[in-house]
């Protein structure tokens, strides 16, 4: 038996944020990140809409990119004090992910972060509050997923929380918010969405309900992402829908080792002054993982179906897989994303000498590989890597070397 779970309601299109006026409740806490939602007036709109719905409103702001365990605990304390019956998270993936984890701690104050990380092991939520997510970026799709990514900075590791309980009750996919994204964010979140859709389609948990979502999202991203990056706001609006479809697919079909590696390398070199941004990591690693997974016959066939849906040509499965890899590398070039960690600058742009020194990477490689294998996303990858294979694959991602194993 399998399960397919999505939010109860999904409001979409320009102006969808006004759906908040129809919410029924007494108190709502709004979780938000930096200043962009306030700067562009969306935070005020959320607050005013909730007040129009008759609610008392509190704001928990300042949620950082790659939210920390400490931020989650502080937010939960604010919720425990305010006692909301609605949690409204607005912004990029970070404030929404953080709010999901806060929600768990709010409903079950005795829960530890370690408890939260037990895959599909959470108790029943909604005993105190319902959850609404309003994304401002077009990539994570956390507004429709059963996942949250929280960083333990003491360990330099990003941990996925995975449970259908944290799938939001309501998603508001309002393309007005996406039009505020800076160019670099369009690129990174867009390739995150592409990775979601491709990994969902080849995941061992794929099914008849997730495959159409994944394939349609891939086709939309192929048609819309580069133009969105170059300023076409009609394509920007379309990408906001495409990333949500990709999220619906992967939340139910799960992901693979592109994400496992991105989770475990993202903060692994923070002491050298930067993170490897999640979407950029996915973009760099995806072609390498496709080459690795394509040694599995069933995965290769499914990559070939993706290539066919993208009209890439090719007369054999192997040729189609290679054309898919080449196409994704070309997209990275068009989006100004590096091909490997060695050339990943602290600003995320391609450079001859990246911020991660070779000797440091090699020293930390065994531990990173071990943690990637243990990541919650690895289990649904179509080819299970050994420690040796994971280390070799990560080396290919560092040097941009060919995957021939």
Q: What is the mean pLDDT of the chain?
A: 97
Compute φ and ψ for 150, nearest 5 degrees: -125, 140
Indicate whether 197 pLDDT > 90. yes
pLDDT > 90: percent of the chain = 95
Task: List pLDDT tens digits, range 116-166.
Answer: 998 899 999 999 999 999 999 999 999 999 999 999 988 888 888 999 999
The reported pLDDT for the residue numbered 157 is 83
Cα torsion angle, 11, 16, 22, 26, sign: positive
pLDDT at 145: 97
pLDDT class of 75 with cuts at 50, 70, 90: very high
Query: What pTM does this model have?
Result: 0.95
Q: Which tokens is 255 given?
A: 């992901």
Q: Which H helix or E strand runs over 370?
A: helix 358-374
Coil, strand or helix: which one is 376? coil
pLDDT tens-digit map of 330-371: 999 999 999 999 999 999 999 999 999 999 999 999 999 999
Give the model confidence (pLDDT) of 281-327 as tens digits.
999 999 999 999 999 999 999 999 999 999 999 999 999 999 999 99
For 364, residues 6+ apart whose C-beta sits below 8 A from its C-beta are: 268, 269
Q: Residue 263: pLDDT band by 50, 70, 90 thresholds? A: very high
Kind of pairing between the strands at 9-12 and 56-60: unpaired
Q: How confident is the model at residue 328 (pLDDT cuts 50, 70, 90)?
A: very high
Task: Give the mean pLDDT of 261-285.
Answer: 95
Q: How many CA atoms lie within 13 A of 2 on its CB side?
A: 12
- pLDDT tens digits along 22-52: 999 999 999 999 889 999 999 999 999 999 9
Q: What is the structure's pLDDT at 158?
A: 83
Give the position of tokens 């040796």: 388
The pLDDT value recorded for residue 159 is 87
Residue environment code for 18-52, b if the CB has 16+ CB neighbours within 10 A, otherwise e: ebbeebebebbbbbbbbebbeeeebbebbbebbee
Strand positions, DSSP E, 136-178: 147-152, 157-162, 170-173
Distance of CA 340 to the CA centre of its chain: 20
- Residues 268 and 380 sit within 8 Å (Cβ to Cβ): no
């Amino acid at each position: 038996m399998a399960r397919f779970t999505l939010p109860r309601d999904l409001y979409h299109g320009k102006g969808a944020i006004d759906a908040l006026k129809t919410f029924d409740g007494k108190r709502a806490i709004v979780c938000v990140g930096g200043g962009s939602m306030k700067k562009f007036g969306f935070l005020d709109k959320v607050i005013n809409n909730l007040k129009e719905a008759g609610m008392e409103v509190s704001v928990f702001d300042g949620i950082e990119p790659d939210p920390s365990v400490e931020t989650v605990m502080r937010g939960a304390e604010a919720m425990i004090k305010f006692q909301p019956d609605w949690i409204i998270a607005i912004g990029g993936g970070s404030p929404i992910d953080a709010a999901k984890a806060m929600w768990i701690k709010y409903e079950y104050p005795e829960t530890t972060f370690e408890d939260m990380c037990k895959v599909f092991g959470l108790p029943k939520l909604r005993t105190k509050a319902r959850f609404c997510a309003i994304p401002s970026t077009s990539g994570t799709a956390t507004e429709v997923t059963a996942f949250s990514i929280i960083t333990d900075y003491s360990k330099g590791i990003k941990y996925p929380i995975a449970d259908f309980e944290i799938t939001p009750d309501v998603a508001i996919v309002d393309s007005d918010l996406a039009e505020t994204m800076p160019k670099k964010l369009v690129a990174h979140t867009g390739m995150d969405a592409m990775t979601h859709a491709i990994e969902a389609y080849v995941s061992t948990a794929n099914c008849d309900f997730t495959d159409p979502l994944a394939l349609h999202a891939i086709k939309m991203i192929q048609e819309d992402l580069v133009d969105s990056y170059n300023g076409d706001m009609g394509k920007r609006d379309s990408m906001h829908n495409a990333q949500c479809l990709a999220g619906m697919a992967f939340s139910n079909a799960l992901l693979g080792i592109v994400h496992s590696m991105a989770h475990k390398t993202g903060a692994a070199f923070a002491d050298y002054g930067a993170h490897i941004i999640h979407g950029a990591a996915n973009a760099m690693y995806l072609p390498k993982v496709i080459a690795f997974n394509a040694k599995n016959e069933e995965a290769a066939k499914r990559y070939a179906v993706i290539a066919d849906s993208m009209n890439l040509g090719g007369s054999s499965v192997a040729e189609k897989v290679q054309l898919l890899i080449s196409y994704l590398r070309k997209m990275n070039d068009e989006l100004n994303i590096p091909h490997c960690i060695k050339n990943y600058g602290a600003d995320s742009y391609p450079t001859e000498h990246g911020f991660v020194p070779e000797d440091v990477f090699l020293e930390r490689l065994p531990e990173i590989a071990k943690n990637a294998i243990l990541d919650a996303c690895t289990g649904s990858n179509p080819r299970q890597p050994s420690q040796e294979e994971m280390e070799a694959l990560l080396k290919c991602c560092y040097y941009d070397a060919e995957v021939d194993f």
